[in-house]
Amino acid sequence: MIKNILTKTFETAYNSAPFSKIENTDFLPAFKKAINDAKSEIDAIVKNEDIPTFKNTIEALDFSGEQLDRISSIFFNLNSAETNDTIQKIAQEVSPLLSEFSNDITLNEDLFKRVKAVYDIKDSLGLTIEQQTLLDKRYKGFARNGANLPEDKKQKLRDIDKQLSQLALKFGENVLAETNAFEMLITNEDDLSGLPEGAKEAAKQLAESRKKEGWLFTLDYPSYIPFMTYADNRELRKKLALAAGAKAFKGDALDNQDNILQIVTLRFQRANLLGYKTHAHFVLEERMAKTPKTVESFLNELLEKAKPAAEREFKNLEDFAKELDGIDRLEKWDASYYSEKLKQKLFSLDDEKLKPYFKLENVINGAFTVANKLFDLNFEEINTIDTYHNDVLTYKVTNNKGDLISIFYADFFPRAGKRNGAWMTSYKPQSIKNGINDRPHVSIVCNFTKPTKSKPSLLTFNEVTTLFHEFGHALHGMLANTTYPSLSGTNVFWDFVELPSQILENWCYEKEALELFATHYETGEVIPMDLVEKIKESSTFHEGMQTLRQISFGLLDMNWHANEAPDTIKSVKAHETEAFKNTTLYPEVPENCMSTAFSHIFQGGYSSGYYSYKWAEVLDADAFEYFKEAGIFNKNVADKFKNNVLSQGGTENPMTLYKRFRGQEPKPEALLKRAGLLK
């Protein structure tokens, strides 16, 4: 079997991952063999006696380690979507090996000499723009990661990277374990007052599956969100909210406070070693924003616009809760509950009334239809390729000529081995080698409500936009059309990567798009237009508070990573409270801490980058304005977006690509107008 896992091309349909044939015990030897093979490829580049050229050095480097990359993508995607104790243990063992291998490349003096030799004569080589970008990226990859350091500091860098890889894994494992450990079993049906039938049925089914009597609620979003939104029992909402807010913040074996302090200190030390003031300075050098100052100015400018609106909205919500139920002090566990009630009052719009129009299968087909109308893509469900779980759906994606564009995996339901949230990932990148355009394998992973005995999976409107968001990322991966794998698909500046995902959410609010897929799961009736109007009207409901929330996360991220003395931080909670001081609306909850479960910045790749969501919203609002001016399915605008943004990956500076699509730089007015924050 190990032989099979290590063959250059899997003997499978479309060279897809052979999940069912992989045993957990295969991974460690497979990684070790693939690392050795990749080292041999690097040695061959270094020992090449020919003069360094773009082809024999830069291009060879980009195509090296392909099998290692494939094994890594399979393994770490499983660690996120279908993990277990064995996989987590292997991850702890493998991560330092990969970190060490990565350092072996960036700290290899002879390899850097060859790269630098090509870089020094780059202007005379007649390179394409994509080749220039790759050369620049490769050179910076060495220079920014220690190639110019003396030997003792290189060793220190290796030690730091090894520790960081293990700490990030531990952080994520703790959050997942905390999520899985909490259960709230309700045995008195009166305590379910206010909950929709679907949520009750799902809770009953979950209890049965765990051999329990009653209704079971967990911290998984499809269980947590409906309870917080609809349950009349305030004490139980409080219990659930406190459990969610205390994840990895209990001073026990699963506590993440020490992990955070170690991570931020090590990141700071690493940045200093490399000559940067802070981790944020290091990260942002390779972002559209460029500096922490730009990010902080951007967030504070938005804060200035959003805070008055947020405070007005909060006061209205407080007054409403007081008038309705005599609530004297609005707490965090009241937020979703009273917001939903107020939304229903103002717009007569109830998520439960909308859900029958958003059957999961119909929404998936809707996303496919939108992609077809915009980008000429066709999706055919196939069962000829392996999956890692029965829930995973697989599709063959073609263009109108029948050419293969991508293989697409979709995994929609929560389970014990899967982390919360939603994300897009890839099992195989796109690239062009020896004249062959090798097409990508792309996946989206979500956590939506499972079908029950009486109902299919019906999505809330928020889940509909989540599906479109992740599908937008997937389109960025699928439509990639670049030569080099490291510049392909979503390999772009982090504050540009959310543009394709966030722009696609806009179609969920448009009558012309909703009519394609929003049909009642029982009657087949198209969503009534008054509901569509209400969706549009309510789209800016509490936008001030939502914006303030996103800004607060961005500021917290910068407070951890643009800090010039993180090693002096003694209390994670106190530091977080200080970071939140200008964005706080609800009373402080001493036993809760956001940082200890902030996986985006401590486990994912968003450190010093959480602002990207708001940054990309400026881009997406401005870009969608262009679509609206021409028509949301206008082929000319869609082709420009596909040809200049989606297919280009990281081959050029993102602002250059954006201006080529839009004809101008983005203007923030479109976002402020859409959010209802412009007077």
What digits encode the pLDDT tens for the residues 447-463? 998 998 899 999 999 99
* Residue carrying the six token digits 């041999």: 40
Summarize pLDDT for 435-450 with one digit per residue, the tens: 999 999 999 999 998 9
Taking each helix axis as running N to C, give the angle between helix 221-230 and helix 197-209, from 0 to 180 degrees, rounded to the nearest 10.
Answer: 140
Summarize pLDDT for 577-616 with one digit per residue, the tens: 999 999 999 999 999 999 999 999 999 889 999 999 999 9
CATH number for the domain including 448?
1.10.1370.40
Q: What is the C-alpha to C-alpha distance for residues 327 and 329, in angstroms, rounded to an integer?
A: 6
Summarize pLDDT for 271-314 with one digit per residue, the tens: 999 999 999 999 999 999 999 999 999 999 999 999 999 999 99
Q: Which residues pair with 296 in a beta bridge?
A: none
For the annotated catalytic residues, the residue numbers are 470
Q: What is the C-alpha to C-alpha distance for residues 122 and 132, in angstroms, rounded to an integer?
A: 8
Full residue range of the structural domain in which residue 479 is found: 356-517
Distances (CA, A) of 356 to 514, 525, 552: 13, 10, 34
Number of domains, the chain? 3
Q: What's the start-to-end Cα distance of the chain, in Å?
A: 65
Average pLDDT estimate for 670-676: 86
* Residue carrying the six token digits 């000499």: 113
Residue 674 belongs to some domain of the structure: no
Residues 135 and 192 in one domain: no
Q: What is the mean pLDDT of the chain?
A: 95
| 669 vs 508 pLDDT, higher one | 508
Residues 128 and 228 in one domain: no
Residue 18 belongs to some domain of the structure: yes
Helix (H, G, I), strand (E, B) or coil at 497: coil
Residues 138 and 196 in one domain: no
Residues 398 and 499 in one domain: yes
Residues 13 and 112 in one domain: yes
- According to DSSP, residue 377 is labeled E
Q: What is the C-alpha to C-alpha distance for residues 87 and 390, in angstroms, rounded to an integer?
A: 19
**How many CA atoms does the CB half-sphere of 209 hold within 13 Å?**
13
User: Which two three-digit tokens encode residue 663?
Assistant: 């004809």
Summarize pLDDT for 324-349 with one digit per residue, the tens: 999 999 999 999 999 999 999 999 88
Residues 81 and 131 in one domain: yes
- According to DSSP, residue 256 is labeled -
**pTM (2 d.p.):** 0.90
pLDDT value of residue 671:
87
* Residue carrying the six token digits 């609620």: 217
Residue 307 belongs to some domain of the structure: no
**Residue 8: pLDDT band with limits 50, 70, 90:** low
